[in-house]
Amino acid sequence: MAGVRSVRRRARSCNFLHACSVERCMIASALRQARALACVVIVLASPVAARAATGDADAVEALSAAQRASAQRVADWEAALDARLVGASEPDAVWLRGWRTRTDPDARARDFASAHRAQPREPVMLASLVGACMEPALPRPAACDESDWLAKWASVDSENAMPWMLLAARAVRIGQVERGVATLEQAAGKTRISDYATRAPRIAWNVVKRSADARDAGPASAATLAMIHSAAPPSDASLALDAACGELGTLGTRDVRAACARLADTAMRTSNTLAGRAFAAAMAVRLAADAPARTDAEAVRAQVAVQRTRCGQSSTTLEDALQSERPALRSAAIGAFEQWVVDLADSDEATACDRQAERIAKLPR
């Protein structure tokens, strides 16, 4: 029954690329809570497995031996990966250990800092370190005192509004409200918003596939996909937008409202995740200055909702195909999975999901 328990565990996890209800999942402020709340996502989402995840005894019994064996292989892969990460030394594996297995804030920040120093050009490693150092941990992790990592992020990623929003929120937190407003207005002038969470899957897969031979590629891919869906995001653009505009929005000034409206407009069009775009579109509707702006934001919100549904359906189909007993289907699914990971890292979730839907439609039947 270990495989079934693995299904249930994933069903309680947060899917950072396909969050369910943004309004229900996002926290009121990053200054009060550092991580977003989770939504239920059933990763092994065949109808029988979905019912099994709810505790349906008949559904559990209905799982075929092949399905149970497949789920067990995925669970075994996850356990083996965790064991390999304990002694990891490669930067990507060290980062993955911090992202996936560390529960101690000091150890998590230490792993992220080590990975960032080894691969300073990989933005998700710096973003992860910033996120770890924003958590309200006492004592403060030693790695967080080595540098002002948030200021560094803003300096090396000058057109990304994400670190600037976090800087604005930090200024308010320490009582520098005027500085926070000025920083928020700077953020509103940036051209894009990215938390780089979509680069995490490629790093995770690169670590996994180094030890996956051809026979294990299907279970390894499925385990990696499950891990991607169950892990918390390295950082979160929606959370940053809510933090900056949530705190400063209490001022009720016209300048702050206008800056937040511009940020919401930028995020709903450029955020690297669909959850980020959905959250921003909802904010843009609330902050719209006139009817045309509100209509535009509502259209974007509707479009993103359709994309998220289609993306979730593709992911479910892919998960099943990766564990298929048919070699041709499993092989094609592995190829689709690897390309999806590359697309996520090199573009954004919306683009990657559109391309993946086309690949899923061409899988062997």
Q: How far is CA 51 from CA 40, 61, 233, in A?
A: 13, 11, 27
Residues 6+ apart with CB under 8 A from 205: 221, 224, 337, 338, 341
* Distance between CA atoms of residues 254 and 53, nearest Å: 48
* Distance between CA atoms of residues 141 and 144, nearest Å: 5
28: its two tokens: 């009121």
Q: How far is CA 261 from CA 159, 239, 302, 354, in A?
A: 18, 16, 18, 27
3-state SS assignment for residue 196: coil
* Distance between CA atoms of residues 153 and 163, nearest Å: 6
DSSP 216: G
47: its two tokens: 């109808």
pLDDT of residue 23: 28
Q: How far is CA 287 from CA 24, 30, 191, 329, 357, in A?
A: 19, 20, 19, 47, 33
Give the residue among 217, 243, 240, 223 at the shortest CA–CA distance from 160. Answer: 240
CB burial of 186-200 (b: ≥16 within 10 Å; e: otherwise) equals bbbebebbbbbbbbb
Instruction: Give the pTM.
Output: 0.80
* Distance between CA atoms of residues 202 and 200, nearest Å: 6
Q: Report which residue type is found at 96.
A: L
pLDDT of residue 49: 41
Query: From the CA atom positions of the chain, what is the Rg in Å?
Result: 21
DSSP 142: G
Which segments of 143-236 does DSSP mark as H helices, in order? 149-156, 161-173, 177-188, 200-209, 217-230
* Distance between CA atoms of residues 278 and 300, nearest Å: 8
56: its two tokens: 């349906």
Q: Report which residue type is found at 259.
A: A
* Distance between CA atoms of residues 74 and 68, nearest Å: 10
From first to last of its 365 residues, what are the pLDDT tens digits of the chain?
333 333 333 333 334 454 433 222 322 222 222 222 222 222 322 333 444 444 555 555 555 676 777 677 777 777 878 888 899 999 999 999 998 888 899 999 999 999 999 999 999 999 999 999 998 888 999 999 999 999 999 999 999 999 999 999 999 889 999 999 999 999 999 999 999 999 999 998 888 888 665 556 667 777 777 667 656 566 678 888 988 888 776 666 888 999 999 999 999 999 999 999 999 999 999 999 999 999 999 999 999 999 999 999 998 899 888 888 898 998 899 899 999 999 999 999 999 999 999 999 999 98
Which segments of 211-348 does DSSP mark as H helices, in order? 217-230, 237-248, 254-270, 274-287, 291-322, 327-346
What one-character-per-residue DSSP string does 26-50 give?
S-S-TTT-SSPPP----SS-SHHHH
Give the distance from CA 162 to its chain's centroid. 15
Residues 6+ apart with CB under 8 A from 134: 30, 34, 150, 166
Residues 6+ apart with CB under 8 A from 277: 267, 268, 269, 271, 300, 304, 350
3-state SS assignment for residue 124: helix
In this structure, the chain runs to a length of: 365
> Do 43 and 229 meet the contact criterion of CB atoms below 8 Å apart?
yes
> Do 59 and 36 meet the contact criterion of CB atoms below 8 Å apart?
no
